[in-house]
Amino acid sequence: MIFADLFFLYFFLPICLILYFVFKKLKTKNTILIIFSLVFYAWGEPLYVILLLFSAAFNWFMGLMIGRNRQNERNAKISVAVAIAVDLLLLVIFKYTGFLVENMNGLFHSAIPVPQISLPIGISFFTFQAISYIIDCYWETVKPQKSFKNFLLYLSLFPQLIAGPIVRYSVVENEIMKRKTTISDISEGAMRFIVGLAKKVIIANSLYAVVKQFFGDVNADQYNDISGLSFLGTWFVVIAYSLYVYFDFSGYSDMAIGLGRIFGFHFNENFNYPFICKSISEFWQRWHISLSSFFRDYLFYVPIFGKPRKYLNLFLVWFCTGLWHGAAWNFIFWGLYFGLFLLFEIKLGKKRMKKWPLAVKHIYSKLVIVIGFGIFCFSDMTQLGNFFSNISGMSMIFRGGSFADQLTASAFVGNIFLLIIAIVVSMPVLQKLKYFFFEWGNNVVYTTGKVLGAVGCAYLLLMCSILLVDATNNPFLYFRF
Does the pLDDT at position 434 exceed 80? no
Does the pLDDT at position 481 exceed 70? no
The length of the chain is 481
Does the pLDDT at position 33 exceed 90? yes
> What share of residues in the chain are helix, strand, coil (percent, to 5)?
75, 0, 25
Residues 107 and 233 placed together within one structural domain of the fold: no
Does the pLDDT at position 306 exceed 70? no
pLDDT of residue 349: 87
Residues 265 and 210 placed together within one structural domain of the fold: yes
Looking at the DSSP bridge assignments, the partners of residue 307 are 304
Residues 105 and 224 placed together within one structural domain of the fold: no
pLDDT of residue 29: 95
Does the pLDDT at position 440 exceed 70? no
- Round the average pLDDT of the chain to a whole number and report it: 90
pLDDT of residue 302: 74
Q: What is the pLDDT of residues 141-156, one digit of tens each?
A: 999 999 999 999 999 9
pLDDT of residue 399: 84
pLDDT of residue 304: 65
Q: What is the pLDDT of residues 254-303, one digit of tens each?
A: 999 999 999 999 999 999 999 999 999 999 999 999 999 999 888 877 76
**Listed ranges 399-403, 431-435, 459-463; the one with the highest mean pLDDT:** 459-463
pLDDT-derived band at 118, boundaries 50, 70, 90: confident
Which residues in 280-306 are b (16+ Cβ under 10 Å) and which e? bbbbbebbbbbbbbbbeebeeeeeeee
Dihedral (C-alpha) 198, 204, 209, 214: value to the nearest 10 degrees? 170
Asked if the structure places residue 63 within a domain, the reply is yes
404 lies in which domain range?
184-480
pLDDT of residue 312: 85
pLDDT of residue 334: 96
Residues 168 and 195 placed together within one structural domain of the fold: no
Asked if the structure places residue 1 within a domain, the reply is no
CB 39 within 8 A of CB 49: no
Instruction: Look at 119 and 315; give whichever has higher pLDDT.
Output: 315
Task: Note if 266 is an active site residue.
Answer: no
Residues 118 and 79 placed together within one structural domain of the fold: yes
Last residue of a domain, one of 119, 145, 179: 179
Instruction: Look at 46 and 285; give whichever has higher pLDDT.
Output: 285
Does the pLDDT at position 474 exceed 70? no
pLDDT of residue 401: 83
pLDDT of residue 480: 64
pLDDT-derived band at 11, boundaries 50, 70, 90: very high
pLDDT-derived band at 342, boundaries 50, 70, 90: very high
Instruction: Give the H/E segment covering residue 336.
Output: helix 329-348
Residues 251 and 381 placed together within one structural domain of the fold: yes
3-state secondary structure of 221: coil
Residues 235 and 277 placed together within one structural domain of the fold: yes
Residues 286 and 349 placed together within one structural domain of the fold: yes
Residues 194 and 96 placed together within one structural domain of the fold: no
CA distance 60 to 15: 29
Q: What is the mean pLDDT of residues 304-312?
A: 72
- 19 Cα distance to chain centroid: 29
Asked if the structure places residue 241 within a domain, the reply is yes
Question: How many domains does the structure of the chain reveal?
Answer: 2
pLDDT-derived band at 235, boundaries 50, 70, 90: very high
Q: What is the pLDDT of residues 179-233, one digit of tens each?
A: 888 998 999 999 999 999 999 999 999 999 999 999 999 888 899 999 889 999 9
Last residue of a domain, one of 179, 204, 238: 179
Residues 150 and 240 placed together within one structural domain of the fold: no
Identified catalytic residue from 109, 266, 288, 325: 325
Q: What is the pLDDT of residues 50-83, one digit of tens each?
A: 999 999 999 999 999 998 887 888 888 899 999 9
Residue 268 phi, psi dihedral angles, 5° rounding = -70, 155
Residues 118 and 215 placed together within one structural domain of the fold: no
Last residue of a domain, one of 128, 148, 179: 179
Q: Label the pairing between strands 216-217 and 222-223.
A: antiparallel
Give the torsion sign (CA, 339, 341, 342, 343): positive
Q: What is the mean pLDDT of residues 351-363?
A: 92
Q: What is the mean pLDDT of residues 11-36?
A: 94
Lowest mean pLDDT among 9-18, 128-137, 444-453: 444-453
pLDDT of residue 433: 79
pLDDT of residue 448: 81
Residues 168 and 308 placed together within one structural domain of the fold: no
Asked if the structure places residue 372 within a domain, the reply is yes
